[in-house]
Every structure is written in C-alpha cells, then in structure tokens.
Structure 1
Amino acid sequence: MQLKSETSPITIKNITKTELKELWELSYGPKADLTWKNFDGPYFKDPILTWEEYQKGFGKRLITDENAGVIFYGAEMLGVVTAYFEDGSLKRWLEFGISIYQPKNWNKGVGQVAVTLWINYLFALYPKIERIGYTTWSGNGAMIALGEKLGLKKEAQIRKVRYWQGQYWDSIKYGILRTELQSLERV
C-alpha cells in the first residue's frame, strides 16, 4: 500500500523490515520523545515497547498489514495510521487511529492530510463499510480539532469515563459516513 497526497509531500505506506528499527527508535527507542504517549490514551498505561516487543507485535503490522501504514513527509518518518474492526469478525464497524511522534511535527497540517488520505483509502478498501470513525478523549484537543476541521461528526461524548492524572475525562467519538465523504477535500 502506498498513498500519496496530490498537494503535499505526505505519503502513507507500509515499510520494509529494515526500516522498522528506525520507526521504533522514533516512537519508543531510548532517544524518542515520548510526549505523544500523553495524548494516545494515556489512561490505558500502555508500556514503552522494547525493540523485541515492537518487532514481534505492533511493528510487524506496519510491514504487510493493509490496515496499518507509516506517515512520511518526503523521506522522513513522522508517525503511523491504523484501522481495526470494533465489531471483530462482523467487519462492519471500522475505527482508525493516528500517532505523530515528534511534537515538532504537530500543528502543521500533517494529521489533516494523513487522515484524509487514510479515510479515502479505507472506504475504497472496504466498499461495504458505511461509516469510519475514531475515539479520542477530552484531554486531546488536537484530535478533537482535527475531527471538527475535517467535517467528521461528533457522534458521542461519554462523560467522565477516562481516569488519568487524578481526574476524570470524557471519551469522545467522531465519524463520517460514506455519503459524507465528499466533504473531505482531495489532498
């Protein structure tokens, strides 16, 4: 899989096994800026993955899985996009996620271009799907703003169900229907 923006140097693609270590170093390695984990469901307390754990687990997806890809700006790796079926083997409820690892790449429109490419790709990949969405939390203003900017609908706000840093936060769901897809500009 390789998705290319028509208006920017952003691409999304699977990577090779030899590129995987570079991505691990960017996301979890000893020199990685782990600030991104403060916004990526920190209440789950997911561990910092070792190289061995990463290459056998999550990282393995990025090589061949059509539901996972690496975001590039030119030749530079910036983050990942993923998708999964919330309803398991029924395969009618598709959710996605995005992580951009270094704060220096935040608030530059990368997420907007990447998510637009990703949603268009997922709707093409799964022609029977009528809706694609994501879940975030009230502490992640960037993901809330992204959904609003792209025209996704706020479908649910479950109040005070995410507990982190001594307080409760809301869980928020955004989604877009296939019939609303034209609201996403081509990128």
Structure 2
Amino acid sequence: MVNDKTLQIRPIEARDLDRIWELIYKDETPEWKRWDAPYFEHWAIPYETYRQEADGHVGREDMWVIEAEGTVYGTVSSYYEDAGEEWLEVGIILHQADRWNHGLGTRALTLWVNHLFTTRSTVRVGLTTWSGNERMMRVAEKVGMQLEGRIRRVRVVDGVRYDSIRMGMLREEWEQRQKRNVSI
C-alpha cells in the first residue's frame, strides 16, 4: 500500500471485487469510457460471468485500486512494452465522473509512478492517451512526463480524427525531481 493524506493505492483484495465489477463491467456505456481509449470497444460483463474469473485480480502487481476515504474509485495499472523490462507503460482510470477534476488522478498517478520507479529497475515510465483527452495529458505533465511522440490522426472518436499521444519520464528525470524535493 502507498498513500498520501486521504488517498491510497494498493493491491486488489477480495473485498474489492464487487466494487470493481460495478465500476468497470456493470454498464455497457460508462461515462469513463468516453475518455479512456474510446476507440476500443467496451463490453459489460454479467456479474456471474465476471465472478468466475474475478479472483485472478486479487494481489496483482500490475493493477491496483485507488481508494479515497474508504471507497474504491478507480485503478492504476502497468505493463512492459518490451521483453527487457526497460519500457513501462502505465494507466489510470477514475471510474466515477464526480471524482474528476479534484486532483485525485494526479495524486494517484504520482503515487503509482513513484512506487514503480522505487520498486523496479525500469528506465522509463510513460503513458499513451489521445489528443482529445486533455485532462490526461495535463495529469501526465504534472507528474513530470513530457511529450515523446504524436502519431497524427490515428484515433477516431465519434467520427473525428485525433492524435495518439505518448508521454513519458526517464528514471534520471524522476531522480532529479526527487532531489529537488518536487512532488511528482
């Protein structure tokens, strides 16, 4: 578990499984999906189907919950882009719209990036989003990431073409921020 003030990120526990279904898989068209890679299809999963494999989420190192004031509101995740485990991609989703624009995402991503650089030997931590998700780009900048790539007009959302955006931070950049005592 990693925390700051009233927010924590932690591995998924069995007690979180029903909440995760409610946040992620219950609705066919959840509000959060309008911003989280809306160009990829999302499917609702019946509760009984979800529960058949839900225990596989418990204790995962690559997906944790975001909890504030005793309630799970989202997830952070990570995966390696390369076999040598040098290039780590992260994700963050606050599944409830009423929790957006209050700094929770920035705080949670800060904790997650710090945890990953502290516990892994990866060279880079980054994220991929789309140019229509300006909030995610701002959060990544606040954490200390910078624009690394823009693949033009490859993401189509509601008939409009957007750019795919790659943002990232190198270990030495994270270490510099730590030395300057800058909260990432």
Query: Structure 1 length normalisation: TM-score?
Result: 0.87
Distance of 1:40 and 1:56 partners within structure 2:
25
Contact 2:12 2:63 in 1 (8 A): no
1:180 aligns with 2:177: no
Query: 1:28 Cα deviation (Å)?
Result: 2.7
Aligned equivalent of 1:74, options 47, 69, 78: 69
Amino acid at match of 1:80: T
Q: How does 1:95-110 map to 2 (within 5 A)?
A: 95-110=89-104
Q: Can you list the C-alpha shifts for 1:110-131, whole angstroms capped at 9, x where unaligned?
A: 011101110011112212x111
Task: Report whether the alignment pairs 1:147 with 2:136.
Answer: no
Residues 132, 61 of structure 1: alpha-carbon distance in 2 compared, 3 angstrom cutoff? farther
Q: Which amino acid aligns with 1:45?
A: E
> What is aligned with 2:119?
125
- 1:4 positional shift: 1.2
| Aligned: 1:13 with 2:10 | yes
CA deviations 1:124-165 (Å, max 9, x no partner) are 2212x1110000001111101111222211101111001121
Distance 1:43 1:75 in 2: 32
Query: Which residue among 29, 46, 50 is the counterpart of 2:46?
Result: 50
Overall identity of the aligned pairs, in %: 37
- Match of residue 86 from structure 2: 92
Tell me: CA distance 1:53–1:144, structure 2 relative to 1, closer, same or farther (3 Å): farther
Number of equivalences: 180
C-alpha deviations, 1:49-108, integer Å up to 9, x for none? 333454456x54541111110000020111000000112x33221100000011100010
Mapped to 2, the partners of 1:119 and 1:50 lie a distance apart of 33
- Scaled by the length of structure 2, the TM-score of the pair is 0.88
Report the equivalent of 2:37. Answer: 41
How well do the aligned residues superpose, as a CA RMSD in angstroms?
2.1
Q: Distance in 2 between matches of 1:67 and 1:15?
A: 10
Does structure 2 retain, via aligned residues, the 8 Å contact 1:95–1:134? yes
Q: Distance in 2 between matches of 1:95 and 1:118?
A: 11
1:33 Cα deviation after fit: 7.8
Taking the aligned partners of 2:101 and 2:29, their CA distance within structure 1 comes to: 16
Paired AA for residue 28 in structure 1: Y
- Name the CA distance, whole Å, in 2 between partners of 1:53 and 1:162: 31
> Cα gap change, 1:56/1:163 in structure 2, threshold over 3 Å: closer, same or farther?
farther
Amino acid at match of 1:94: L
Write the letter of the residue equivalent to 1:156: G
Moved runs in structure 1, 4+ residues, more than 3 A? 52-57, 59-62, 184-187
> What are the ranges of 5 or more consecutive residues in structure 2 without an aligned counterpart?
none
